[in-house]
Chains A and B, each alone.
Chain A
Amino acid sequence: MTDPFAHHTPAPQVPHPASFRDPAGFVFAIDGVVYRQVNQFYSDRYDHLHRCGLYDQLTEQGLMVPYTEASIDLAQSTDACKILLPRQIRPISYPSEWCPEQLKDAALLTLKIQRLATDHGMTLKDATPFNIQFDKGRATFIDTLSFDLHDPARPWIAYRQFCESFLFPLYIHHYAQTGTAPIAAAWPEGIPASLTARLLPLKSRWNTGVWLHVFLQNQISSRQPAAADRNPTFSKAKLIRVIEHLQSIISRLNTSPQKSSAWSNYYSETSLGKSYLQAKEHLFRQYLNQIEFAHSLDLGCNDGLFAKILAEAAAGVIAVDADWSCIDKLYREHRPNILPLCVDLAHPTPASGFRNAERASFTSRTASDLVAALALVHHLSLGKNIPLRLIADYFNDLTKKYLIIEFIPLSDPKAAALVARKESPTIGYDPGHFESAFSRHFRIERKDPISGTERVLYLLQKS
């Protein structure tokens, strides 16, 4: 095997801060355009990926992001052999923001690619959800350099990583309805078999898949590492059997909400009735007609009613909600220009990984021309005790131009319910405080009461 560091030169490199682990190459950006450098160390595998027809098959089936070869003059170091320009995917999201169905699709995509690679004498050397992004509403594999030449006598090197970062979170969700995002956030490199075995209920032991991949794996891997050194032989047929078993398990795991959550029927069962929604939608469409924007962000999107209206006019919509069952519903529609994500705005995804630089924060990734925050501010202000001034500051960080925001006064039953059991007084939550908090960053373009309610809709522009 070639020494991965044999070609290393101290030439200045500007890889993306998340792209340093793989000696095969790295990702870098010039003027916001993302490129991938393939190093000489990887050239034989890169050639094989193309020669064997795997690249063509993966891209024709829409499983992997296609790329073109760019000028080698863009090389960031002397050991470059190719510079690739992939189709650009934006925005980037992380497994800690996905609903269970998104993680399931990412898992099945990984297995499908591994299965196809096996037929072409290749294998995935890693199986992490970070190699997958959602492009045009579908899971897409993005890491060109994950393919290695496969020795049929060896099992899948990434099997354990696959289990820890896909299968185990999905199993925990299947039995406990926890959502998979909190597991991915707490265990970014995957949740170990030993912990998964403790978390799963007793009845799960009757399931063959759980018994084999969780309990048996936990037993064997915690026993004698010397046994692994004997390198027992394997075969392609056995590898296919393991992959197909994982495929059949995962495709049968439950990812949809078993009972409706507090929010999943919010709009269809709203106490204010249809006329409120129609009036709000009418105003919303009027606002959209009078402004110009390309990318938008819908905060607290619920079932995506307004995100879908935004998608009619916008190039891309990021729709976020703290409730995974709402995101699940919207994701299953596979709308090409809506990216649904599970994000709690009181705890948006932080910058993480080595030096806090591998993965960018939610705030830095999602800033958009237009931000919509409908029926949301009262939750942050009254429910989470975040002062209106700080909410205004945060929305100012998130929007580049416009903000469409709804204010729900304390006289509204939904707002009143949030403070009904509070002993401390509610100070500074009224239209006057609201307008003065937001006028520090924005000027009011439109202000319209929503007929039949005391709620008010605003179109604000950054001043």
Chain B
Amino acid sequence: MTTLFLYIDPGSGSYLVQVIIAAILGGMFWIKKFWRKIRSFFTRGKKAP
């Protein structure tokens, strides 16, 4: 199997990897943003006198 890859442009395999990584990072960014909103909603509530 590995010999097959020796004839493939070394850059091509990494294309798909970057597409997936960028998608996951994008997803993580939105989750973080959403989580921060939830947290700030509650912490704001707690801090209020």
Contact = CB atoms under 8 A, between A and B. Distances in A.
Using C-beta atoms within 8 Å of the partner chain, give the interface range for chain A. Answer: 20 to 34
Contact of B18 (A159, A208, A225, A227): A159
Contact of B14 (A208, A221, A245): A221
B41 interface: no
B24 interface: yes
A242 interface: yes
B20 interface: yes
Interface of A is mostly: helix
Contacts of B20: 216, 220
B16 A241 contact: no
Interface string B1-39: 000110010111111111111111110110000000000
Contacts of A12: none
Given A159-B17, A216-B17, A228 B22 contact: no
A225 B23 CA distance: 20
Interface of B is mostly: helix
Contacts of B24: 212
A160 B19 contact: no
Contacts of A229: 12
Interface in A170-223: 208, 212-213, 216-217, 220-221
Given A220-B13, A220-B20, A231-B15, A225 B5 contact: yes
Contacts of A154: 15
Interface string A378-421: 00000000000000000000000000000000000000000000
A343 to B, nearest CB: 30
Interface stretch (A95-103, A232-240, A444-452): A232-240
B26 to A, nearest CB: 6
Interface in A77-99: none
A227 B24 CA distance: 18
A159 B21 CA distance: 12
Given A158-B11, A217-B14, A212 B19 contact: no
Nearest to A244: B25
Nearest to B9: A228
B8 to A, nearest CB: 5
A156 to B, nearest CB: 7
Interface of B: 4-5, 8, 10-26, 28-29
28 contacts: A155-B14, A156-B18, A158-B11, A159-B14, A212-B24, A213-B21, A217-B17, A217-B21, A220-B16, A221-B17, A225-B4, A228-B12, A228-B13, A228-B16, A229-B12, A232-B15, A234-B15, A234-B19, A234-B22, A238-B18, A238-B19, A238-B23, A238-B26, A239-B18, A239-B22, A241-B29, A242-B21, A242-B22
Q: List the 6 shortest-distance A-B pairs measured between CB atoms, nearest first.
A: A238-B22, A155-B18, A160-B14, A221-B13, A228-B12, A157-B11
